[in-house]
Amino acid sequence: MPDRIPAEHTVIFDLDGTLIDPFEGITQSIRYALHEMGRPAPLASELTWCIGPPLFDSFATLLGGTSVASRGDIEEAIRLYRVRFSHVGIYECQLYSGIPETLEELANQGFSLLVATSKPHVYALPIVEHLEVGQWFQHVYGAEMDGTRRDKGALLEHVLAKERIIGDQTIMIGDRRYDVDGAREVGIRSIGVSFGYAAPGELEAADPDVLVATPREIPAAVMQLLGDAR
C-alpha cells in the first residue's frame, strides 16, 4: 500500500456489503461453526442479517440471545467460525461491480481513502490486497481479534485519531445502520449504499446524509457533501 499522503478530505469505506459481497464466506463459516457445536444451522439465505454487525453480536443472537448463550459459547462459536474463515471463507468474496472504477476516480480527485470494518484487520487487509484494490487505500482499519473496536463508533474514533483527520472533512460510506450511527457518533457525515445487506427500510431509518443505489453513484455523492469545501 502507498505511504500516507496529505489530503484535506477523507473517504472511509466499510468493507462487507460496501466494497465486497462476502455472502458465501461469512454464511458458510457461520453454518460450519453452528454445525460443529451441534446447533441448528439456518440456510445461508437466512443469515444475510449477519453481514455487517460484529460477529459476537450475530452469534449471541444465533445461540439464543445474551440471556441464554454464555460468553464462552459465543467465543467458541467465533473460534470455530475462524477455523473455516481464515483458510477458506476469507477468499469467498468478490468486489461489487463498479468499485475499482469508483476508487480510482476518488483517488484521482485527490481524496484520501481508508477502510474501516468491524471485521478483524488481520482478515480485512489480505482481502483488500487479494482483490487488487489495496493501491487505492492509505490504510485498512478493523477490529482486533479479541473484539476491541468491533463497535463502528469506537473504530471510527480510533481512525480519526490515528489519521489526525477532521470530522467535517470526512465521510463514512457503508451499507448498514451501524455505519451511519457510528459516523454520527463521531461527528462525520455518511453515505448509505443500498446495494449491500441492510434490511428493508434500515438505511432510511438510519438517515444517512445521502443514499445511493450503485457504486458508480458514490463519487457524485462524495462531491455533493465535500466538493464545495475543497
User: Per-residue pLDDT for 1 more than 80?
Assistant: no
Separation of alpha carbons 112 and 94, rounded Å: 23
C-alpha dist (Å) from residue 230 to 9, 72, 227 = 8, 50, 5
Identify whether residues 59 and 144 lie together within a single domain. Answer: no
User: Per-residue pLDDT for 6 more than 50?
Assistant: no
Q: How far apart are the first and last CA of the chain?
A: 25
pLDDT tens for each residue of 75-117: 999 999 999 999 999 999 999 999 999 999 999 999 999 999 9
Q: Please tell me the predicted confidence (pLDDT) of residue 88.
A: 97
Q: Please tell me the predicted confidence (pLDDT) of residue 41.
A: 95
Q: Please tell me the predicted confidence (pLDDT) of residue 188.
A: 96
pLDDT tens for each residue of 7-65: 579 999 999 999 999 999 999 999 999 999 999 999 999 999 999 888 999 999 999 88
Average of pLDDT values for 176-186?
A: 97
**Residues in a beta bridge with 95:** 20
Contacts of 175 by beta carbon, 8 Å cutoff, 6+ apart: 14, 16, 17, 18, 52, 192, 193, 194, 195, 196, 197, 198, 203
CATH code at position 30 = 1.10.150.240
Clarify whether 14 is annotated catalytic.
Answer: yes
Identify whether residues 55 and 160 lie together within a single domain. Answer: no
Range of the domain at 77: 23-91
Q: Please tell me the predicted confidence (pLDDT) of residue 157.
A: 96
Q: Please tell me the predicted confidence (pLDDT) of residue 228.
A: 54
Say whether 116 sits in a helix, a strand or coil: strand
Q: Closest Cα to residue 194, out of 18, 15, 11?
A: 18
Identify whether residues 73 and 99 lie together within a single domain. Answer: no
Largest CA distance in the chain: 56
Decide which of 71, 91, 111 is a domain's last residue: 91
Q: Please give the mean pLDDT across all residues of the chain.
A: 93
Decide which of 68, 91, 114 is a domain's last residue: 91
Identify whether residues 73 and 175 lie together within a single domain. Answer: no
User: Per-residue pLDDT for 3 more than 50?
Assistant: no
Please check whether residue 4 lies inside any domain of the structure. Answer: no
Average of pLDDT values for 212-222?
A: 98
Q: Are 50 and 176 in contact (CB under 8 A)?
A: no
C-alpha dist (Å) from residue 19 to 15, 30, 31, 173 = 5, 21, 23, 10
User: Per-residue pLDDT for 139 more than 70?
Assistant: yes
Separation of alpha carbons 130 and 19, rounded Å: 13
Candidates 14, 21, 151, 175; catalytic one: 14
Decide which of 49, 74, 91 is a domain's last residue: 91
CA angle 210, 105, 185 (to 5 degrees): 35
pLDDT band at 229 (very low <50, low <70, confident <90, very high): low
Q: Which segments within 100-228 are labelled E, that is strand?
A: 112-120, 139-143, 170-174, 189-193, 210-212
